[in-house]
Structure formats: C-alpha cells, structure tokens
Amino acid sequence: MSHHTGHDHALTIRRAVPADATALAQLAVLDSAQELRGEVIVAEVAGEVWAARSLANGRVLRDPFRATSEAAALLELRAAYLRRDMTLRGGRIRLRVTRRASSPA
C-alpha cells in the first residue's frame, strides 16, 4: 500500500520484517516508548521507518521529528483492514439470515 507525501516521496505501509528490528528500536527510543512486540506494520518513506503500529494491541510509535499524522492514520486504516480480513478468514463472523414476514399485497 503506497501513498505520496507532499514532498514527492512515496509512503509505504507494509508488515515489519526482521531487518526492521534496528529501525523499530530506534523509533521506540525517539518516541520515548517501549518497543512494539508481535506483528507490526510500518509506515516507510524513502527507505526510513517513520511510524509503526502493533497489530496485537494497537500501540503506535512515531518519529517526533517528522510529520507522521498521515502515516499514523494510514497505519490505522491498514490495521483495521487486516483485522477484518483475519476475522473473515477465521470464521468468527456469523451472518444470520432471517425471513421477513411477507407484506400484504
């Protein structure tokens, strides 16, 4: 998922990979927060991680020296989509079909 920022750099939302560990640790230090655990998605611009979000608990880390509100909003949208997709695949949603009483003609 990519989106262009105002400075003509693409913002990419993707799942974190092991190679992102250092960037995520640095992001936690910059944000004065604990590192994220479990599955994480990141917002990356020009090869740098600007923000990240835990899929497990929704915590978000942001680089306080960058304009990250758009990145955080896109992370939330992507997380919501992934939650919906996982729920649908897991069979946790049950649809109940009910018959309407026929209306008199």
pLDDT at position 9, please?
Answer: 77
Return the CATH superfamily for domain 2-89. Answer: Gcn5-related N-acetyltransferase (GNAT) (3.40.630.30)
Question: What average pLDDT score do residues 30-42 get?
Answer: 95
State how far the alpha carbon of 40 is from the alpha carbons of 6, 23, 33, 48, 70, in Å: 25, 12, 15, 15, 17
Give tens-digit pLDDT for 47-96.
999 999 999 999 999 999 999 999 999 999 999 888 876 555 554 444 44
Beta bridge partners of 15: 41
Position 51 scores a pLDDT of 96
Query: Residue 5 — pLDDT band, cuts 50, 70, 90?
Result: very low
Task: Show me where the domains of the chain are located.
Answer: 2-89
